Amino acid sequence: MDDTILEMRNITKLFPGVRALNDVTFSVRRGEIHALVGENGAGKSTLMNVLGGVYPHGTYSGQLVFEGAECSFREIHDCERKGIVIIHQELALIPYLSIGENIFLGNERSGGGVIDWDETHRDAARLLELVGLKEGTRTLVKDISVGKQQLVEIAKALGKNVKLLVLDEPTASLNEDDSEHLLRLLVDLKAKGMTSILISHKLNEIVEVADTITIIRDGATIETLCKGRDEIDEDRIIKGMVGRELVDRFPKRTPRIGEVAFEVRDWTAYNPLNPERKAVNGVGIKVRKGEVVGLAGLMGAGRTELAMSIFGRSYGLNVSGQAFKDGRPIELKGIRQTIDQGISYATEDRKTAGLNLIGDIRENITIAALAKVARSSVIDRDREAGVAEEYRAKLNIKSTSIRQKTGNLSGGNQQKVVLSKWIFTAPDVLILDEPTRGIDVGAKYEIYTIINKLADEGKSVIFISSELPEVLGVCDRIYVMNEGRIVGEFERGEATQEGIMKCIMQSVGEGGNGKL
């Protein structure tokens, strides 16, 4: 018996002016974890949208064969009825419904048109046990972590009698522990006969769990690698993705560091949901001209809360502390005032808070500094277009034009639009929160190059990332945060992953402000 569960034969998908998929052939064996990798814009999501019925039969050419039968999916439900479930990077859960309600939403346990809540929560508990999630089925989704929400999504898929599970960047927003738990779950499900397609930019995870890896580039299949048959490592995958060997993941830079440009002392902010708890607790940091300073720590350490509370007090209650720029005290009591002081913040959540996804590139780049493209308070559209074209070229934003909607760009190009927006405000200090989350190695390298160029121009950069190798590769100096405090500080030459993690672990529960 043929062990192939899925074949996508000669798939071609056209958009106006763009050939998104060009004769792609892709097959998956039953009971394997099959990784699909490629740069942003390579065609991975488009291929999965063809599989999932988002792009109905007839809007593409080629054949889709599942379990030996040709399929003509016209909507998502057609795909799911066959046992194919896709979990997208943006989770499709309702925050104010319970875990049990979410698991069976659209797949209700009912009789005579009435939902059987006892059966709902009983079956939900069984599915939660299967995915290793120890939460009550009546807990609201909004009250659990992102890592646990990913497990709820998988439980929801298992409740649909899934045969082929597709996960799109499932660990992009997870910490290391949650990521490891999810990967172990995929391996456990494989042992029970589950077939999975894993889309991820975290190549170390791909190498760890995938049995087969298909690389696509510019809408075409490049090669398929099989564990046990082919020599597989991250460098081999990267070469297939970008079409060349990436000798060094991080571009070289010789720092030219000057005087202290920005400093906060005894900075404190209380959690808006728990006004008695300090989310940021007596933090003091400084960044010099031409310096890239990292903020490292586990998820929930307070890094984003610190950045947002600094940026016009956009997070936190009773924010207090002193801020200095070029040695002079400054006030940061509103976002506009903070921007005018030469401090900008690029959020970690580009889709929700960083961009207007239905707006075009031009509008998104200029929105934070409209006065610079206006005459007598009226926007000069020619000047605005000129600015957008300049940044599109300078940051190598791949798009059909500056009129293209940002929601239609790849993740890496969306991130470049976010950076363009804040660079256009001409900041002296730029805070970057997870600037490479969910983007591929090639786009990451371009972002690192942009950061280096800003530092070479004398800008001060505060760089937040949950990926320690990235922090070590990009930053000149690193602060370590835990439980809202600074618990360590490392110069570039002395920083290691082991040292940073040891610093975090030693500080757990101490409540002190240690420094190495």
| Confidence (pLDDT) at 513 | 39
| Confidence (pLDDT) at 516 | 36
| Confidence (pLDDT) at 468 | 85
pLDDT digits (tens, 9 = 90+) for 220-241: 999 999 998 998 888 888 888 8
Residues 327 and 191 in one domain: no
| Confidence (pLDDT) at 266 | 97
- Neighbouring CB atoms inside 10 A of 513's CB total 14
Is residue 263 within 8 A of residue 291, CB to CB? The reply is no
pLDDT digits (tens, 9 = 90+) for 308-366: 999 999 999 999 999 999 999 999 999 999 999 999 999 988 888 889 999 999 999 99
Task: Looking at mean pLDDT, say which of 16-20, 213-217, 298-302 comes out highest.
Answer: 213-217
Task: Judge whether residue 247 has pLDDT over 70.
Answer: no
One-letter amino acid for residue 448 of the chain? Y
Q: Look at residues 207, 242, 277 and tell me which one is the last residue of a structural domain.
A: 242
Answer whether residue 111 is part of any domain. Answer: yes
| Confidence (pLDDT) at 452 | 95
Residues 28 and 134 in one domain: yes
Answer whether residue 359 is part of any domain. Answer: no
Mean pLDDT of all residues in 272-282: 90
Residues 61 and 182 in one domain: yes
Percent of the chain with pLDDT over 70: 97
Q: Which residue has the higher pLDDT, 93 or 410?
A: 93
Q: Is beta strand 195-199 parallel, antiparallel or unpaired with respect to 164-168?
A: parallel
Answer whether residue 266 is part of any domain. Answer: yes
| Confidence (pLDDT) at 267 | 97
Burial class (CB in 10 A: 0-12, 13-18, 19+), 505: exposed
Mean pLDDT of all residues in 202-219: 92
Answer whether residue 293 is part of any domain. Answer: yes
Residues 166 and 308 in one domain: no
* Cα 154 versus chain centre, distance: 19
Alpha helix segments (H runs only) across 170-328: 176-191, 203-209, 234-242, 303-310
Least confident of 243-257, 364-378, 398-412: 243-257
| Confidence (pLDDT) at 245 | 65
Q: Look at residues 208, 242, 276 and tell me which one is the last residue of a structural domain.
A: 242
Answer whether residue 367 is part of any domain. Answer: no
DSSP H or E segment with residue 200? none
How would residue 1 be classed by pLDDT, with cut points 50, 70 and 90?
very low
Answer whether residue 456 is part of any domain. Answer: yes
Q: Look at residues 242, 270, 287 and tell me which one is the last residue of a structural domain.
A: 242
Question: In 3D, which of 91, 113, 109, 111 has the Cα closest to residue 101?
Answer: 109
Mean pLDDT of all residues in 192-214: 92
Q: Which residue has the higher pLDDT, 327 or 161?
A: 327
Read off the pTM: 0.71
Residue 114: both structure tokens together: 């009435």
Residues 68 and 8 in one domain: yes
| Confidence (pLDDT) at 351 | 82
Q: How far apart are CA 391 and CA 406, in angstroms?
A: 14
Answer whether residue 140 is part of any domain. Answer: yes
Answer whether residue 352 is part of any domain. Answer: no
Percent of the chain with pLDDT over 90: 62
Task: Judge whether residue 411 has pLDDT over 90.
Answer: no
Residues 53 and 201 in one domain: yes
Residues 280 and 314 in one domain: yes
Residues 300 and 189 in one domain: no
Residues 304 and 193 in one domain: no
State the residue range of the domain holding 93.
4-242
How would residue 246 be classed by pLDDT, with cut points 50, 70 and 90?
low
pLDDT digits (tens, 9 = 90+) for 447-499: 999 999 999 999 999 999 988 889 999 999 999 999 899 999 999 989 988 88
Phi, psi of 319 (to 5 degrees): -70, 130
Question: In 3D, which of 463, 466, 467, 456 has the Cα closest to residue 478?
Answer: 463
| Confidence (pLDDT) at 141 | 92
Q: Which residue has the higher pLDDT, 63 or 508?
A: 63
With a CB cutoff of 8 Å and minimum separation 6, the contacts of 483 are 281, 301, 302, 507, 508, 509, 511
Residues 71 and 207 in one domain: yes
Q: How far apart are CA 361 and CA 404, in angstroms?
A: 6
How many domains does the chain divide into?
A: 2
Helix (H, G, I), strand (E, B) or coil at 449: helix
pLDDT digits (tens, 9 = 90+) for 13-72: 987 767 889 999 999 999 999 999 987 778 888 899 999 999 999 999 999 999 999 999
| Confidence (pLDDT) at 353 | 86
| Confidence (pLDDT) at 2 | 66
pLDDT digits (tens, 9 = 90+) for 164-176: 999 988 887 777 7
Phi, psi of 92 (to 5 degrees): -100, 60
Task: Judge whether residue 509 has pLDDT over 80.
Answer: no
How would residue 244 be classed by pLDDT, with cut points 50, 70 and 90?
low
- Check which CATH number belongs to the domain holding 24 and give it: 3.40.50.300
How would residue 508 be classed by pLDDT, with cut points 50, 70 and 90?
low
Is residue 151 within 8 A of residue 185, CB to CB? The reply is yes
Residues 95 and 25 in one domain: yes
| Confidence (pLDDT) at 352 | 82
Residues 268 and 227 in one domain: no
| Confidence (pLDDT) at 512 | 42
Is residue 380 within 8 A of residue 373, CB to CB? The reply is yes
